Amino acid sequence: MYKVSLYILGSFILLISGSLIFLMGVYFLTLDYVLFLDWEILSLNSCSVMMTFIFDWVSLIFLGCVFIISSMVIYYSESYMSSDIYSERFYFLVFMFVMSMMMMIISPNLMSILIGWDGLGLVSYCLVIYFQNFKSYSAGMLTVLTNRIGDVAILLAIAWMLNFGSWHYIYYVNSWDDKWTSYLILLIILAGFTKSAQIPFSSWLPAAMAAPTPVSALVHSSTLVTAGVYLLIRFSDLLKSIDCSFFLLLSVMTMFMAGLGANFEYDLKKIIALSTLSQLGLMMSILFIGYPVLAYFHLLTHAFFKALLFLCAGLMIHCMSDSQDIRHMGVMINHLPFTCSCFCISNFSLCGLPFMSGFYSKDIIVEMVSHSYFNLFIFLIFFVSVGLTVSYSTRLVYFCLSYNMNSYVSQSYYEDDIMMKSMILLSFLAIMGGSILSWLLFSCPSLILFPLYLKLFPLIFVFLGGWLGYELSMIGLYNSFVFLRFYNFSYFSGSMWFMPMYSTYMMYSSFFFLSKNYDSVMDSGWGEHLISSGPLSFLSNLSKILNWYQYNNVSVFMLIFIFMFLISLL
């Protein structure tokens, strides 16, 4: 009897259902149709417990893309996790992860969103600590505790919406501008910022790289980190009623910080993680400028090429005996031609090279930023961040594919059939996905007139970034890297502006000091002396005195007699 692999079966089911859901989303988009399903679980007197789902083009197209990407990642895991003795457990964890994301996408209700939201947080913790070592444990703890802040914000928003009469966000689309609503928006933004790792919650995202590579591909393309952006896209109509300039600043600084940090990083997976963080900053900032459809568009195109980038990186790391240092890699193009081709495709798409998938979303975003009434600082940071993206991508290609001085000997190059097949569909989507989605999402073209220099600005920064990346990667035999001469600057940039330190020991060291003082004063100090051991020590001393008195009765009586005699004489 032929035994069907769990991974292949699961990926096939997800691929078929993802394709059908995507086509249904396109159909709903053409009809401008929304399906709102209420499932009554329990009705008691006048109180009813309902489970509600919303099926419109936003949720269906995104869900279809999530399922298609997940199917390729699960198919890839068949080969990647083959040597793992707990591969079934890994499969079910990934499947729960995808189902939590599905729950979050199709919920129009903050209560049911919380189920998917918490599911993502808990399952991601199990996946980050999958390889059980101290580094994974600390990374998992940082991930789950940071995400708890967002969970608490959602819980508070649920409590706050009791003032409104319903937990469905769909009822507050054309909301009024008052104090009640602004508190709700701030809580939702806090939740979105923690899940999508914006400043000041950025440090968990590179730490979550301790998870296996297929999980990283899922987390960084279409699940977990995109949940925050998706939630804010759903609530985007409420954002019009508050001033978003501060949140815009935070998201733009996230984009810049991640792009800068990736140029100083040597861990392959962390570079790609920082690249995700940069793209999330881009989505958030265009959302706060006021273009939620563009943020959604970039969310989808980014998911395609980022999943592909991680799958290629996973195979490269496997070939390097699980070393992730890009300085160990080199001349891979000769040994892994197919993987390196896919790697280049996804990198070009990430850079926004014309007519790749990423170009369609990035170019229109940058044009809309030029078109919006924002100051020079935002304008420049946007363009510089686009340049930095190309810079670290060029550096990645230079180190991994062409650079010929790798010092690592433990290579076993192989290209697996299963891994290559999973890359084919994602490569097609990374090339064609952007143009297909742009035709679908923007039914009527809008004419934007720019002077020539402004139209060419994005391309100029793309080529400048590529040149900068090449220059930074150049190393001679006798001279060191350029940025090692400016070590303080490179350390500051490479450590994400010291954000991991803020999130970990700088956050809790003062509390440790405080608790130590409290412990020494209360538990081990006066509290211990007076309350815990006070009565005990008093009774103990009393019993000692009585004991001594009973044993030495004759001498004590004589002493008391002399004492009393002296007192009477006085």
Share of the chain above pLDDT 70, in %: 94
**CA–CA gap between residue 25 and residue 296 (Å, rounded):** 14
pLDDT of residue 404 exceeding 50: yes
- Among 312, 315, 139, 303, which Cα is nearest to 211's? 139
Q: Which of 176-180, 400-404, 507-511 is the least confident region?
A: 176-180
pLDDT mean over 76-92? 87
By CB atoms closer than 10 A (0-12, 13-18, 19+), residue 73 is: buried
pLDDT (0 to 100) of residue 1:
46
Q: Per-residue pLDDT tens for 2-47?
A: 567 888 999 999 999 999 999 999 999 999 899 988 888 888 877 7
Q: Which helix (H) or strand (E) holds 503?
A: helix 499-503
Provide the residue type at 2 as one letter.
Y
**CA–CA gap between residue 535 and residue 453 (Å, rounded):** 85
Angle formed by the axes of helices 57-80 and 6-31, to 10°?
Answer: 160
pLDDT (0 to 100) of residue 212:
87
Q: Per-residue pLDDT tens for 189-225?
A: 999 999 998 888 888 888 888 888 888 888 888 888 8
Mean pLDDT of the chain: 85
pLDDT (0 to 100) of residue 170:
73
Diameter of the chain by CA atoms?
Answer: 119
Residues in the chain: 570
Contact (Cβ atoms closer than 8 angstroms) between residue 356 and residue 315: no
- The three-point CA angle 354-272-283 to 5° equals 60
pTM across the whole model: 0.87
Q: Per-residue pLDDT tens for 143-171?
A: 888 889 999 999 999 888 887 777 887 77
Could you tell me the two tokens for 381?
């940071």
pLDDT of residue 178 exceeding 80: no
Q: What phi and psi values does residue 375 have, to the nearest 5 degrees?
A: -75, 175
CA atoms within 13 Å, Cβ hemisphere of 19: 9
pLDDT (0 to 100) of residue 405:
62
Q: Per-residue pLDDT tens for 222-270?
A: 888 899 999 999 888 888 878 889 999 999 999 999 999 898 888 898 9
165: left (phi over 0), alpha (psi -120 to 50) or beta: left
- The DSSP secondary-structure symbol of 53 reads E
Q: Is 443 helix (H, G, I), strand (E, B) or coil?
A: coil
pLDDT (0 to 100) of residue 478:
43
For residue 487, the tally of other CB atoms under 10 A from its CB is 9
Contacts of 565 (CB under 8 A, 6+ apart): none
Q: Per-residue pLDDT tens for 99-136?
A: 999 999 998 888 889 999 999 989 999 999 998 888 88
**CA–CA gap between residue 353 and residue 343 (Å, rounded):** 14
pLDDT (0 to 100) of residue 497:
76
Evaluate the CA torsion angle 280, 283, 285, 287 in order and state its sign: negative
Q: Distance from CA of residue 543 to its chain's centroid?
A: 64
- Among 410, 393, 214, 196, which Cα is nearest to 288's? 196
Q: How far apart are the first and last CA of the chain?
A: 114
pLDDT mean over 278-286? 93
pLDDT mean over 349-359? 89
Q: Which of 124-128, 179-183, 359-363 is the least confident region?
A: 179-183
Q: Distance from CA of residue 91 to its chain's centroid?
A: 21
Contact (Cβ atoms closer than 8 angstroms) between residue 26 and residue 440: yes
Q: Which helix (H) or strand (E) holds 194?
A: helix 179-195
pLDDT of residue 386 exceeding 60: yes
For residue 337, the tally of other CB atoms under 10 A from its CB is 11
pLDDT (0 to 100) of residue 406:
64
Residue 177 confidence class, pLDDT cut points 50, 70, 90: low
What radius of gyration do the chain's Cα atoms show? Answer: 30
Could you tell me the two tokens for 4?
């069907």
Q: Is 455 helix (H, G, I), strand (E, B) or coil?
A: helix
Q: Which helix (H) or strand (E) holds 38?
A: strand 35-44
pLDDT mean over 542-553? 79
**CA–CA gap between residue 519 and residue 515 (Å, rounded):** 6
pLDDT mean over 474-498? 67
**CA–CA gap between residue 490 and residue 265 (Å, rounded):** 9
**CA–CA gap between residue 447 and residue 104 (Å, rounded):** 35
